[in-house]
Chain A
Amino acid sequence: MATNEAAAPLRILILDDEPIVCKRLKPAFQKLGHTVETFTDSGQALARLGEAVFDLVITDLKMEGADGLQILNGAKASSPATQVIVITGFATLETAKESYRKGAFDFVAKPFKLRDILDCVKRIEDRRRDLPADSGS
């Protein structure tokens, strides 16, 4: 059962006001079989989070309108099981701490290597695979 769940593709929402980030992340996850929706407008992304449940949200931190922490809150409010990765080009210890405090799975500073974020998602998949076993024990 756990194996089946782990093999299921993830539903991923990517939000960054710089289209290049969405453009480059999307095919990398599609290549691994995941379903990906991308947004460059945080308001639209928040609205989408109210409509559908995502397994993973990857969001920029600093944006016009709702910022990454508001997106994090919105994602968790919509589905507590949703994991959130915060990416930012203005990384400070404080913003990282706050992201973790609010339940972010990881905090990645831009520029980052694609491999870094793929590894991060791999850890999320591993955790999803392990969770049923843990809860059963």
Chain B
Amino acid sequence: MDTVSALRQWWRGLEADKRTARQEIDFWRLQALFNNFKRILLLNNAILEDMAKMERALGGEYIFDRAFLESSVSGIAHRVHHVVYSLNALTGNRHVDLYDRYQDIRTLLDDILANNIRALADEAVLPLRAIGWEHEPLVGMDLVCLAALPASSQIVPVDGLAVTQEGIRALALVDSDHADSNHADSNHADTGRGLRLAEARIALRGQLRQLAAAHPGVPVAVVASRIDEDESPLQEMGSFLLSPDRDRPEVSLVRLDSPGDAVAERMVLVDPEPGRAEEEDEEGESGAAELLLHGLERIVQLVGEIPTADGPQPVHCVLFVHPQPPPVLAGTIHTRPLPGNPLAAEDGLVIEIASLPEAPGDCFLLRRTHPFELLRSHIAARPAGHRFADGRPASAASMEQPHLGRGSALVDPGLLRDLAESAMLLERFFGAPLEIRWQLENDGACRIARLRPLACEADPGLVTGAAELDETAIVCQGGQTGQSGVGAGPVVHVDEATDPETFPAGAVAVARYASPNLTPILQRAAALVTEFGSAAGHLSTVARELRLPSIFGLSDALDLLPPGTAVTVDGGETTVYGGIVEAMLRLDAMDMELTPQDREYRMLRRLLRFILPLRLLDPQRPDFTAENCRSFHDIIHFCHERAVEELAHFQERRPGLDTLRTRPLELDLPLDIRVLDVGGGIQPGADFRLRPDRIESAPFVAFLEGLTDPRARNSEAPSLGLRDILAGMPHSMGLLAAPADTLGTNLAIVGSEYLNLSLRLGYHFSVVDAYLGEDISRNYVYFRFVGGLADPERRGRRARFVAKVLAAMEFKTSVKGDLVVARLKLMEPDLLRAALLALGALTAFTRQQDTNMRSEADLAQRFAIFAAGFLLPFGAQELWEAGDEAS
């Protein structure tokens, strides 16, 4: 060999080495990318487990402390950050804005742990109907519970609004020497404080105007509550009545809770510019709103500070503002009898009707469980000439209802039961015995105006209770705690078909499955037991939201708990006792395990608000963006969807993958598939030309089994006309114009539990991206199917056929023209394996099927054939039969 030849050979060798080295680097990069994807799945799984544990802690199943909350937040946040990093590594930093969202949420969580709830503050005023649990730090638990009442109860709260902590803070900026709004607004207009005050006033004026319009001329009650005390989170600071004068620009303010003379603090405030308000509308609502605003600002001055040794200190108050017409009747409910109550010889719920000082009121003791029977009552005789609160003489009532006379009860048993039911619901929401104010108004409606914790001592008969428990028969035991606590009532069997309206309020619901469709029933039930389902499921989350004692996965519950049997359910102990065990109900009410009264409960619930909710659901929607992620769950879901989407288009976006170390797969089909193993997808030592039996990748094995199944081959020759070919031309030309690698080679990237396959069969192009392992939470399939020679009608029919098959397997499917995109998640391994097998079969079956789908009957017939062969694991017998009938 001469020198030149030797040099050439050396140079060629060097080039070959370089190529090999480049290929190896490319391969390592590819492996790194798939490792990133695998990491996202693993991390998401761990995060979801931690989230579930936190959420279950809310139900009282675990005993935990603040350290648990801190470590849970820290652990979840660390993993979420890692997920964001991995997605950016996978996608070439196309989602860096996710870091900002992560940081925003992390900061909020740290603030909550540091008890800095100012971070959560935003609205200055909220109508009661708009209040949810997320507003608890702003408005207090009493208003949250009151706002939750209409969904579950016959009796509704009064129509009102809350001036939140944020609103109070803003109104407290009013200079008391210049309390008129215009002065104060202009005084601070150029400062942040002034802006906050101006914004709060605008919001408050708007809400007060609506209130004044809905209740013209009606006085307004205002209750101020302090909600910043950690150990006793609700203290009443004062109650007031504001009465705007309709004729003069004046509002009177009466303090109702001041000791001694109730009118001692009566004040008259004068609107400095009455004309301005009157100009705005002729109805006078703006004027009334302006006067009410003045009154509220004065109340903030009265209650917004407390004297301390270091001078006056601001307190975090909330004002509840509601119209207060003179009621026909009004009274209180104590969900437990207070010591000294003459009716309280036995446990129960006390309803009192307030009366004039010279006339004793009626008093009733009812059972605390369904059907809230009347146990005792004391009906006061009305003195002659007695007038009700609305000024109506008592004798008028007896003329309207002749059965009434002196000594007759003023409320009927039905109303008493409704009141008792609402009171017990409120107690369950609140987590402690309550004092509840109610009023019967002129429109005939009974409304709840207020609630506050009832100060009652622990029951000295606890040990007696224990003795009663010893004698109580356990009917069944087992399953998982959904929500701890005790509920009792008659058993009612329910299923998805049960009409919630027919479910008796206060009964114990027993179901076979924990279907989300049972949600409306939960709002009326005293407890819930299901035979199947877990404490991590949706229905369990609802039970925790409602604080409904519940047990999930209690075997044979339907047989052991026949309809009509009275039982007592202890959710925390996953035990059902026979009969109504009063001792347990009493113990539960005294020490209601973990309740909203506990600082840890409130902190956990505030934390979960930024961790758990998944609002960003549909990746097809334009608002599915990093910017719209509002919880850690949103972020990891976003990352998962974007990672799957990246891999689903992976081969198109990275041309040249087939130059890597791929191997040909030897199939008995006219199909060239190259295989690239990224770890554990192929048996070690397999020949370069792979036989299918050397494939180890679980999802690929299942898919190939379906693809090569003889039943999936279509023996019928395709019916293809010139029209089909011409109609298919633009489409197929579009496909052909796609990057070469999408058509040239069918490439399967495989791992032991992973498959990413781009496949062209005839004119069909499909992508399968799947993970199949033993862990249900990581399992998924993404399937995309497009193309085909035929006229648009037949192609559309074929797309509907594919979608129908996918729907039978419970894929979430979208069809746009002849593009079908489908996803399936969280499947049992066996079922997912069957789904992948069916997808393989479907890929082969649909080859040129669109050209044969001349009618809807064709579609139905082919679906029936396919279902009989491949969909039986999905319970498709009825679908198959339905398809058969249609054909």
Across-interface contacts of B71 in A (CB, < 8 A): 89
A-B pairs, 9 with minimum CB distance? A27-B591, A111-B64, A18-B65, A33-B466, A111-B62, A89-B67, A111-B68, A20-B600, A24-B63
Q: Which residue of A lies closest to B600 (CB)?
A: A20
Across-interface contacts of B462 in A (CB, < 8 A): 27, 30-31
Flag if B465 contacts A27 (CB, 8 Å).
no
Flag if A111 contacts B63 (CB, 8 Å).
yes
Across-interface contacts of A6 in B (CB, < 8 A): none
Flag if A113 contacts B68 (CB, 8 Å).
no
Taking CB atoms and an 8 Å cut-off, the chain B residues in 457-471 that contact chain A are 462-463, 465-467, 469-470
Across-interface contacts of B573 in A (CB, < 8 A): 114-115
Task: Contacts A27-B590, A31-B469, A33-B463 given; indicate if A114 touches B572 (C-beta within 8 A).
Answer: yes
Contact for A110 among B61, B65, B463, CB less than 8 A: B65
Q: Which residue of B lies closest to A18 (CB)?
A: B65
Given A31-B462, A112-B62, 9 more A-B residue pairs with CB atoms under 8 Å apart are A21-B65, A24-B63, A27-B462, A30-B463, A31-B466, A32-B466, A90-B67, A110-B68, A112-B63
- From B57, B67, B71, B599, name the one whose CB has the most chain A CB atoms within 10 angstroms: B67
**Chain B: minimal CB distance from A18 (Å):** 4
Across-interface contacts of A18 in B (CB, < 8 A): 65-67
Across-interface contacts of B572 in A (CB, < 8 A): 114
Across-interface contacts of B587 in A (CB, < 8 A): 27, 30-31
Across-interface contacts of B68 in A (CB, < 8 A): 89, 110-111
Across-interface contacts of A110 in B (CB, < 8 A): 63-65, 67-68
Across-interface contacts of B62 in A (CB, < 8 A): 111-113
Q: Which residue of A lies closest to B470 (CB)?
A: A33
Across-interface contacts of B470 in A (CB, < 8 A): 33
Task: Contacts A20-B598, A20-B599, A31-B587 given; indicate if A114 touches B63 (C-beta within 8 A).
Answer: yes
**Counting CB contacts under 8 A, is A26 at the interface?**
yes
**Counting CB contacts under 8 A, is B593 at the interface?**
yes
**Counting CB contacts under 8 A, is B594 at the interface?**
yes
Query: Interface residues of A: mostly helix, strand, loop or mixed?
Result: helix
Taking CB atoms and an 8 Å cut-off, the chain A residues in 60-91 that contact chain B are 89-90
Flag if A23 contacts B598 (CB, 8 Å).
yes
Across-interface contacts of A31 in B (CB, < 8 A): 462, 465-466, 469, 587
**Chain B: minimal CB distance from A22 (Å):** 10
Across-interface contacts of A20 in B (CB, < 8 A): 63-66, 594, 598-600
Q: Which residue of B lies closest to A87 (CB)?
A: B63
CA distance A16 to B594 in the complex (A): 16
**Counting CB contacts under 8 A, is A120 at the interface?**
no
Across-interface contacts of A32 in B (CB, < 8 A): 466, 469
CA distance A114 to B571 in the complex (A): 12
Please list 16 pairs of residues, one from A and one from B, whose beta carbons are closer than 8 Å in the complex, sorted by A's number. A18-B65, A18-B67, A20-B598, A24-B593, A24-B594, A27-B590, A27-B591, A31-B466, A31-B587, A32-B469, A89-B68, A111-B62, A111-B65, A113-B63, A114-B63, A115-B573
Q: Which residue of A lies closest to B594 (CB)?
A: A24
Q: How many chain A residues have a CB neighbour from B under 8 Å? A: 22
**Chain A: minimal CB distance from B233 (Å):** 14
Across-interface contacts of A53 in B (CB, < 8 A): none
Across-interface contacts of B598 in A (CB, < 8 A): 20, 23
CA distance A113 to B67 in the complex (A): 16
**Chain B: minimal CB distance from A87 (Å):** 8
CA distance A18 to B65 in the complex (A): 6
**Counting CB contacts under 8 A, is A25 at the interface?**
yes
Q: Mark B67-86, 1 if CB is under 8 A from A, else 0.
A: 11001000000000000000
Flag if B467 contacts A33 (CB, 8 Å).
yes
**Chain A: minimal CB distance from B174 (Å):** 39
**Chain B: minimal CB distance from A20 (Å):** 5
Flag if B57 contacts A111 (CB, 8 Å).
yes
Flag if A26 contacts B65 (CB, 8 Å).
no
Flag if B466 contacts A25 (CB, 8 Å).
no
Q: Which residue of A lies closest to B583 (CB)?
A: A31
CA distance A112 to B53 in the complex (A): 11
**Chain B: minimal CB distance from A7 (Å):** 10
CA distance A97 to B144 in the complex (A): 47
**Chain B: minimal CB distance from A116 (Å):** 9
- From A24, A30, A89, A90, name the one whose CB has the most chain B CB atoms within 10 angstroms: A24
CA distance A90 to B67 in the complex (A): 9
Q: Which residue of A lies closest to B584 (CB)?
A: A31
Flag if A21 contacts B467 (CB, 8 Å).
no
**Chain A: minimal CB distance from B727 (Å):** 64
CA distance A117 to B591 in the complex (A): 18
Q: Which residue of A lies closest to B462 (CB)?
A: A30
CA distance A114 to B397 in the complex (A): 55
Q: Mark A23-56, 1 if CB is under 8 A from B, else 0.
A: 1111100111100000000000000000000000
**Chain B: minimal CB distance from A30 (Å):** 5
Across-interface contacts of B65 in A (CB, < 8 A): 16, 18, 20-21, 89, 110-111
CA distance A105 to B189 in the complex (A): 67
Across-interface contacts of A21 in B (CB, < 8 A): 63, 65
Q: Which residue of A lies closest to B465 (CB)?
A: A31
Q: Which residue of B lies closest to A62 (CB)?
A: B67
Task: Contacts A24-B593, A31-B469 given; indicate if A113 touches B61 (C-beta within 8 A).
Answer: yes
**Chain B: minimal CB distance from A17 (Å):** 9
CA distance A54 to B511 in the complex (A): 45
Across-interface contacts of A23 in B (CB, < 8 A): 591, 598
Q: Which residue of B lies closest to A112 (CB)?
A: B63
CA distance A21 to B599 in the complex (A): 12
Q: Which residue of B lies closest to A29 (CB)?
A: B466
**Chain A: minimal CB distance from B732 (Å):** 60
**Chain B: minimal CB distance from A14 (Å):** 11
**Chain A: minimal CB distance from B485 (Å):** 12
Taking CB atoms and an 8 Å cut-off, the chain B residues in 555-605 that contact chain A are 572-574, 587, 590-591, 593-594, 598-600
Across-interface contacts of B574 in A (CB, < 8 A): 115
Q: Which residue of A lies closest to B53 (CB)?
A: A111
Flag if B591 contacts A26 (CB, 8 Å).
yes
Across-interface contacts of B466 in A (CB, < 8 A): 30-33
Across-interface contacts of B594 in A (CB, < 8 A): 20, 24
**Chain B: minimal CB distance from A37 (Å):** 14
**Chain B: minimal CB distance from A3 (Å):** 14
Across-interface contacts of B593 in A (CB, < 8 A): 24, 27
Across-interface contacts of A90 in B (CB, < 8 A): 67
Q: Which residue of B lies closest to A88 (CB)?
A: B67
CA distance A23 to B592 in the complex (A): 10
Q: Mark B36-51, 1 if CB is under 8 A from A, else 0.
A: 0000000000000000
CA distance A90 to B462 in the complex (A): 34
Q: Which residue of A lies closest to B590 (CB)?
A: A27
**Chain A: minimal CB distance from B679 (Å):** 32
Q: Which residue of A lies closest to B592 (CB)?
A: A27
Q: Which residue of B lies closest to A35 (CB)?
A: B463
Across-interface contacts of B61 in A (CB, < 8 A): 113-114
Q: Which residue of B lies closest to A33 (CB)?
A: B466
